[in-house]
């Protein structure tokens, strides 16, 4: 009798999973045929957004057989967070994305929280078939029933594999591969990599106020290596979504390890934010680099991005050696207001994909972020100018000869000695809404100001203040590289040494652009602008 009930239960679960899958695939096809595809108000036109409903963290970033995979935290039934699945998309160039059916559905062990994916090149797991290595996804199962019952061991790490380029997935029968025997409530977000030196898989995941490192020969059997982080960095909130990877310091050949660590709340702007650490990893322990910002010992953070809208970002696994880049993408939102931003059909976008570069600076090894070069393929109309004097305001709309909410602008200013001016760019629309991004020389800080940029009544946290970031470089030449896409601005200042990511929701698209210098003349040594094309066609 028991077996019959179990059998029926299993059959109906499989049936409903199949039906769900069929519905998703059908929905996908209908949307692709719709000419209004992807054109709702506030829909970014060259940033990744889910076709419909809710999205948060990027997951399972892996490159395999010419495709960049982007899985993501997804609730397919509503535009707010709910029972988590892994949504899925692939791209051959990091710019144009193809939506694929949902990859991982919740099961009896729980919802599918954040995690990573790797290519098992050496068949260590035994999952591969036909001489083809498998993709293996490593994720957290979150058992809602356990949480509701007041237990503390409801998060644990599990795996699934795919032998058809990520199109279908099979969960491992021996899940979970790391049970939560320590009963730590926040025990999640595994990021896995193959460590060539210690010849093992290494998993880093977050456990409330620190990261745990575990090692495995085969992705199935894991043993604890070490814990790190309780005494380091900032702890204004729960640590989530870590990433650990080696990098060569640009121009030196020196190898260091970078640990990205998101936390919520406690970010630089109060809500969600991502700090990072530079150190060394010896196959067992992570140790901070002695030259890396000493203030992290006193509980301070070094931020990856100073804007409010770059969270839970991690890097792609298995990018070919011939490419050699460390590629990153983050969720372009913030838990302070992510669930109430004014969009309906879908909710939230990813940041632009970025290349991370480790550079030696006067303040120690620092991470620089740059937009990936593939984005240049979106450039259409362009403008290039040199050596123009700027005092007060300069209208750009006529000068450029094009006007679009999709624009990339590269600005280079030469600042006079001792200047106290405020230089930057203002975007506005016929409704009088305005967004400003620039540099305040008197305070030596970059800023981004969306306090008057349109809709904000959905959250009192959204437009409460202007965001600032201290300038580290001290050269007279100031470089701002900016990307605007309907509802967002990404600033890469001083060659990516300072990054600020912001979203905004003007009631009409921003189509007017002005440069300004508020106190005295500055020289705009270079101004390049490009109208960008949308990345989605049918
Ligand atoms: C980060 C996070 C992760 C978790 C996921 C759940 O935004 O809270 O820690 O796995 O979102 O959707």
pLDDT tens, position by position, 351-375: 999 999 999 998 899 999 999 999 9
CA of 119 relative to ligand 1 center, distance in Å: 23
Q: Are 454 and 495 in contact (CB under 8 A)?
A: no
Cα(241)–Cα(272) distance, rounded to whole angstroms?
Answer: 12
Strands 512-532 and 379-395: what pairing?
Answer: antiparallel
In the chain, the percentage of residues whose pLDDT exceeds 90 is 89
The per-residue pLDDT for range 89-105, each reduced to its tens digit, is 999 999 999 999 999 99
Distance CA 536, CA 89 (A): 13
User: What pLDDT is stored for residue 293 in this prediction?
Assistant: 86
Check whether 31 has a pLDDT greater than 90: no
Q: Distance between CA 368 and CA 70 in Å, rounded?
A: 22
Q: Convert the pLDDT of each residue in 46-88 to its tens digit.
A: 999 999 999 999 999 999 999 999 999 999 999 999 999 999 9
**Confidence band for 32, pLDDT divided at 50, 70 and 90:** very low
Name the residue with the closest Cα to ligand 1, atom 6.
113
pLDDT at 7 over 50: no
**Model pLDDT, residue 270:** 85
CB 205 within 8 A of CB 189: yes
Q: Encode burial over 490-500: b for 16+ CB neighbours within 10 A, e otherwise.
A: bbbbbebbbbb
Model confidence pLDDT, tens digit, residues 176-206? 999 999 999 999 999 999 999 999 999 999 9
Q: Which atom of ligand 1 is nearest to the CA of 335?
A: 7
pLDDT value at residue 34: 43
Distance CA 424, CA 213 (A): 44
- Identify the pLDDT of residue 3: 35
| Residue 5 pLDDT class (50, 70, 90 cuts) | very low
Can you count the helices (H) and strands (E) in the chain?
3, 31
Sign of the torsion formed by the C-alpha atoms of 322, 242, 464 and 430: positive
Instruction: Decide if pLDDT at 433 tops 50.
Output: yes
Note the pLDDT of residue 536. 83
Pocket test for ligand 1, best of 267, 312, 314 (most atoms within 8 A of CB): 312
Q: How far is CA 490 from CA 154, 270, 352, 408, 481, in A?
A: 37, 19, 8, 10, 8
| Beta-sheet strands, E only, within 67-110 | 67-75, 85-91, 98-104
Residue from 81, 115, 208, 241 to probe ligand 1 pocket by mutation (most atoms less than 8 Å from CB): 241
C-alpha 456 – ligand 1 centre gap (Å) = 25
444-465 burial by CB neighbour count: b if 16+ within 10 A, else e?
Answer: ebbbbbbeebbbbeebebbbee
Write down the pLDDT at residue 123.
Answer: 95
57 belongs to the catalytic site: yes
Question: Which positions ≥6 away from 207 have C-beta within 8 Å?
Answer: 182, 184, 186, 187, 227, 239
Burial of 96 (0-12, 13-18, 19+ CB in 10 A): middle
| Whether 44 contacts 488, CB under 8 Å | yes
Catalytic residue among 57, 189, 243, 485: 57
Residues with CB under 6 A from ligand 1: 56-57, 73, 84, 113-114, 140, 188-189, 240-241, 312
Taking the C-alpha atoms of residue 269 and residue 468, their distance in angstroms, rounded to an integer, is 9
**For residue 289, what pLDDT is reported?**
95
Mean of per-residue pLDDT scores for the chain: 93
> In angstroms, what is the span from residue 62 Cα to ligand 1's centroid?
19
Task: Please report the pLDDT score of residue 538 as a whole number.
Answer: 53
Confidence of residue 297 (pLDDT cuts 50, 70, 90): confident
Mean pLDDT, rounded, for 424-435 = 97
Domains, the chain, in order of start with CATH, read 7-371 (2.115.10.20), 374-532 (2.60.120.560)
pLDDT band at 346 (very low <50, low <70, confident <90, very high): very high
pLDDT of residue 37: 79
Helix/strand/coil percent split, the chain, to 5: 10, 45, 40
Q: Which residues, in sequence order, are bridge partners of residue 499?
A: 492
- The pLDDT assigned to 129 comes to 78
pLDDT on residue 10: 35
For 145, which DSSP code? Answer: H
Query: CA distances (Å), 312 to each of 83, 263, 405, 473, 489, in order?
Result: 18, 8, 26, 27, 18
pLDDT in tens, 202-214: 999 999 999 999 9
Q: Which atom of ligand 1 is nearest to the CA of 142?
A: 10
pLDDT digits (tens, 9 = 90+) for 473-495: 989 999 999 999 999 999 999 99
- Give the atom of ligand 1 at the shortest distance from the alpha carbon of 240: 9
Distance between Cα 332 and ligand 1 center (Å):
14
For residue 405, say if its preceding peptide bond is cis, omega within 30 degrees of 0: no
The verdict on whether omega for the bond into residue 176 sits within 30 degrees of 0, i.e. cis, is yes
What would the two tokens of residue 117 be?
A: 């994916």
pLDDT tens readout for residues 263-295: 999 999 889 999 999 999 999 999 999 999 888
């Amino acid at each position: 009798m028991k077996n019959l009930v179990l059998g029926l239960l299993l059959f109906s679960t499989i049936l409903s999973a199949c039906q769900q899958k069929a519905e998703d695939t059908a929905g996908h096809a209908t949307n692709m045929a719709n000419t209004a595809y992807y054109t709702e108000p506030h829909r970014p036109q060259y940033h990744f957004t889910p076709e419909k409903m809710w999205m948060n963290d990027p997951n399972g970033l892996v490159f395999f057989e010419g495709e960049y995979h982007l899985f993501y935290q997804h609730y397919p039934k509503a535009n707010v967070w709910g029972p988590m699945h892994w949504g899925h998309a692939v791209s051959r160039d990091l710019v144009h994305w193809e939506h694929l059916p949902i990859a991982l559905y919740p099961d009896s062990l729980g919802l599918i929280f954040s995690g990573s994916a790797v290519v098992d090149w050496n068949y260590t797991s035994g999952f591969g078939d036909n001489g083809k290595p498998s993709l293996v996804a490593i994720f957290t199962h979150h058992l809602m029933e356990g949480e509701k019952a007041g237990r503390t061991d409801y998060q644990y790490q599990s795996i699934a594999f795919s032998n058809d380029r990520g199109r279908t997935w099979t969960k491992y029968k021996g899940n979970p591969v790391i049970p939560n025997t320590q009963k730590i409530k926040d025990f999640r977000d595994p990021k896995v990599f193959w460590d060539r030196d210690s010849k093992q898989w290494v998993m880093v995941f977050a456990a409330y106020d620190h990261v745990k490192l575990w090692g495995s020969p085969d992705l199935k059997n894991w043993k604890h290596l070490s814990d790190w982080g309780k005494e380091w960095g900032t702890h204004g909130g729960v640590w989530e979504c870590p990433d650990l990877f080696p990098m060569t310091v640009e121009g030196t050949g020196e190898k260091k390890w970078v640990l990205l660590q998101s936390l919520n709340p406690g970010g630089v702007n109060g809500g969600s934010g991502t700090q990072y650490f530079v150190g060394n990893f010896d196959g067992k322990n992570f140790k901070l680099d002695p030259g890396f910002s000493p203030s992290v010992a006193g509980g301070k953070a070094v931020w990856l991005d100073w804007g409010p809208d770059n969270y839970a970002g991690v890097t792609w696994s298995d990018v070919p050696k011939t490419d050699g880049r460390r590629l990153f993408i983050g969720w372009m939102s913030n838990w302070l207001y992510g669930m109430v931003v004014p969009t309906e059909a879908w909710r939230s976008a990813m940041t632009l994909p970025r290349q991370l570069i480790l550079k030696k600076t006067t303040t120690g090894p620092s991470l620089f972020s740059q937009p990936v070069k593939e984005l240049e393929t979106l450039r259409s109309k362009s403008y290039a100018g040199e050596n123009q004097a700027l005092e007060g305001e300069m209208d750009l709309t006529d000068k450029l000869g094009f006007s679009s909410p999709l624009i990339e602008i590269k600005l280079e200013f030469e600042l006079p000695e001792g200047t106290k001016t405020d230089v930057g760019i203002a975007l506005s629309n016929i409704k009088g809404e305005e967004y400003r991004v620039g540099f305040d020389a008197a305070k030596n800080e970059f800023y981004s100001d969306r306090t008057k940029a349109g809709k904000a009544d959905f959250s009192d946290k959204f437009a409460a203040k202007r965001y600032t970031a201290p300038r580290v470089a001290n050269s007279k030449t100031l470089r701002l590289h900016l990307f605007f896409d309907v509802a967002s601005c990404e600033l890469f200042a001083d060659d990516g040494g300072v990054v600020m990511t912001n979203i905004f929701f003007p009631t009409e698209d921003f189509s007017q652009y002005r440069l300004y210098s508020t106190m005295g003349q500055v020289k705009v040594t270079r101004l390049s602008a490009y109208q960008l094309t949308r990345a989605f066609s049918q």
